[in-house]
Amino acid sequence: MLSFVVFGASGDLAKKKIYPALFALYYEGRLPKNFMIYGYARSSMTTEEFRNKIAESLTCRIDWSKAGESDCAAKSEEFFARCVYVPGQYDQAKDFKALDALMCENERAVSSVKRVFYLSIPPSIFVPVAQNAARECQSKTGDTRVIVEKPFGRDLTSSRELTAALAQDLSEEQTYRIDHYLGKELIENLTVMRFSNIMFQPLWNRNYIRNVQINFSENFGTEGRGGYFDNYGIIRDIMQNHLLQILALFAMEEPASLDAEDIRNEKVKVIRCMRPIEMDNVALGQYKGRETDGKKYPAYLDDETVPKGSLCPTFAAMALFIDNARWDGVPFLLKAGKALHKRQAEIRVQFRHAPGNLYGERQGRVEHVTNELVIRIQPDEAIYLRINNKVPGLGQRLDQTILDLQYKNAYGQVELPDAYERLILDVINGDKRLFIRNDELEAAWKLFTPLLDKIEEQKIAPELYPYGSRGPIGAHYLASRFNVRWG
Ligand code: NDP
Ligand code: BG6
């Protein structure tokens, strides 16, 4: 049996991601037959109201029109019947004891129970909640696992403190640090693409790859989350975790097996090979307001929860290097920004020129360019390769064309599972491949903390860029120094 507890059950993440993911897993028959979901928070709410809250959140990927209304209604009623709300304080052992008693009551006819606790709460209360849950609510007859949300600290010191505090009551084996980017379909596919296709294996190194870009952009600002964001900034919010994780999977050596520990060993190794980040290789930005066609887009500083004059970057671009034999000298350009012109996440791999000059400048033909592999993580998941091709017909004109795998064409209109669905299922199944191990976290903070300290100590002012633009000019100068144009 599975007892799944959401701490912070009244919150935003629970509503946006956790309930839809749990329901989708139930709908697809992926949850154990015997399960209960407990929402725990301070807010006063009845179980009935809790179920209504979940019902409002179920805008998940199930296509109800295809599922049929009666099926949908029946399934959701069955699901709601397993959801119970338990009000309680986060620092009161007696409230956790009451939760434990209720769970034991519901589990009494079963011989083996797995308990999963999702800490969907602000980081300031991770430790007391984890401690109380570990001390009062561990399963008596099976595994207990705890999912911890980011941010895992805000620098090396605070991250170490958090790790040590959690480790007092939970083993590393029980701790699942979530980075939801690792649950995205195309990120899961990275290892498949790299290690199961012979044509990529020999090319995946400094001899053939000129540079790699990992780009993240959102076409909305920090609206509503300014208070949280200002304490972290874009480097901690996106780069130190999501983009660095992508880079590690992209650049790591082939693991000995697909076991979680083998994969994580390779990831941590490659992060440890990264050169300290130089301030000269970093461009920072913050969005300013813009008015277009009578519509006003706010500046970051317009958010009332953001301190006046904040220098917090909402955009960063940087060049990173991996000092190992495979990647020596290859720039990895990372870029992340809020309030840009589009929402997109992708990896761009630019290859070197084909050697020889048969179709090159010597012949007065300069139209061909280098190959580029693009892995579009979202939206419209795709993998495509730009190649040079002869324009059909007489003559020898070259053109660039695309070998194109569009997921929606290749795999139909089926919506891909949300990252949280995959990750929650992995926790239930005890699969740790897609979760961050403590030494990976340590290596990630070791890389970024000196840079973050410098930015904050020197009060480096970000360059302003208009809401909805492509970001600050500084990012383009940075890229051009490495002979790169952002995709
Ligand atoms: P919320 O701010 O919505 O907080 C969740 C719940 O925690 C609230 O409903 C509230 O419940 C309780 N709470 C809030 N503030 C406090 C406080 N100061 N002291 C005690 N309890 C408090 O957080 P989110 O749901 O947005 O996020 C949860 C976690 O997930 C955070 O660690 C966040 O960083 C992380 N995260 C969130 C994302 C998102 O999109 N929302 C994305 C990625 C990570 P009550 O008062 O009822 O007890
Ligand atoms: C979260 C960040 O981790 O990822 C947010 O805290 C960001 O600032 C979000 O908006 C982006 O996730 P996704 O899956 O929507 O690209």
- Rounded CA gap, 369 and 355, in Å? 12
Under 8 Å between Cβ of 309 and 301: yes
Read off the pTM: 0.94
Query: With 60 as the cut, is the pLDDT of residue 110 above it?
Result: yes
The answer to whether the CB of 179 is under 6 A from ligand 2 is no
- Residues 212-265: pLDDT tens digits? 999 999 999 998 787 889 999 999 999 999 999 999 999 999 999 999 999 999
Least confident of 306-315, 349-358, 421-430, 453-462: 349-358
Beta carbon of 149 within 6 Å of any ligand 2 atom = no
CA 54 to chain centre: 24
Q: What tokens appear for 98 in the block?
A: 């009451």
3-state secondary structure of 348: strand
Q: Is 194 in the pocket of ligand 1 (CB under 6 A)?
A: no
CA–CA distance, 36 with 58 (Å, rounded to integer): 17
Active-site residue flag, 242: yes
Which tokens hold the place of 310? 């904040």
Considering only 200-214, 344-358, 404-418, which range has the smallest mean pLDDT? 404-418
- CA-to-CA dists, residue 382 to 167, 236, 346, 375, angstroms: 40, 27, 9, 6
Which of the 8 DSSP states describes residue 340?
B
Average pLDDT on 109-132 reads: 95
pLDDT score, position 184:
96
User: pLDDT per residue over 173-199, tens digit each?
Assistant: 999 999 999 999 999 999 999 999 999
**Which residues, 6 or more positions from 382, have their beta carbon under 8 angstroms from its beta carbon?**
374, 375, 376, 404, 405, 406, 407
**How far is ligand 2, taken at its centre, from the CA of residue 143, in Å?**
30
- Point out the catalytic residue in the list 242, 341, 353, 368: 242
Strands 144-148 and 114-119: parallel
Whether the per-residue pLDDT at 21 is higher than 80: the answer is: yes
Distance 158 CA to ligand 1 centre (A): 19
> Which residue has the CA at smallest separation from atom 5 of ligand 2?
237
pLDDT score of 61: 46
Give the residue with greater pLDDT, 60 vs 431: 431
CA–centroid distance, residue 13 to ligand 1 (Å): 7
134-161 residue pLDDT tens? 999 999 999 999 999 999 999 999 999 9
In 258-337, beta strands by DSSP E: 282-288, 290-292, 295-297, 315-320, 332-337
Mean pLDDT value across the chain: 93
- From the CB of 237, is ligand 2 less than 6 Å away? yes
Measure 214 CA to ligand 2 centroid, in angstroms: 15
Q: Which atom of ligand 2 is nearest to the CA of 343?
A: 16
Q: Is the pLDDT of residue 68 over 70?
A: no
90 lines ligand 1 (CB under 6 A): yes
